Amino acid sequence: MASGVKPRVKVPKSAAAGESITIKTLISHKMESGQRKDKDGNVIPRSIINRFTCDFNDQNVVDIELQAAISTNPYLEFDATVPEAGTFKFTWYDDDGSVYEDSKDITIE
């Protein structure tokens, strides 16, 4: 597991039924490409967030595959329609097998 990894998510607390909202996510992760070497000349193993998913009430909203060219601390922003009150679940998958999760509830106005 990479050290210092911290997911952050911004979701409105409430929305009207059927409203489109903007969701913003950021995960603190150094995103090592696997192409650099340490001070002893050894290759530093690749360690990137390679997949991100967002589900709403167990229904997939977005599923993104990330590649080695992704920046450090990847920021993702997308829109989602809120049909009802519920929970957004966010999941980031790391090359080393680690999984980082966060969730946010939203109510209907």
pLDDT per residue over 15-57, tens digit each? 999 999 999 999 999 888 888 899 999 998 888 899 999 999 9
Tell me the CA end-to-end span of the chain in Å, nearest whole number.
40
Q: What is the pLDDT of residues 71-100, one digit of tens each?
A: 889 999 999 999 999 999 999 999 889 999
In-domain check, residue 61: yes
CA distance 62 to 54: 5
Q: Is residue 39 part of a domain?
A: no
In a domain, 10, yes or no: yes
CATH number at residue 28: 2.60.40.10
Kindly give, in sequence order, each residue whose CB lies less than 8 Å from that of residue 78, ignoring residues fewer than 6 positions away.
22, 23, 54, 61, 62
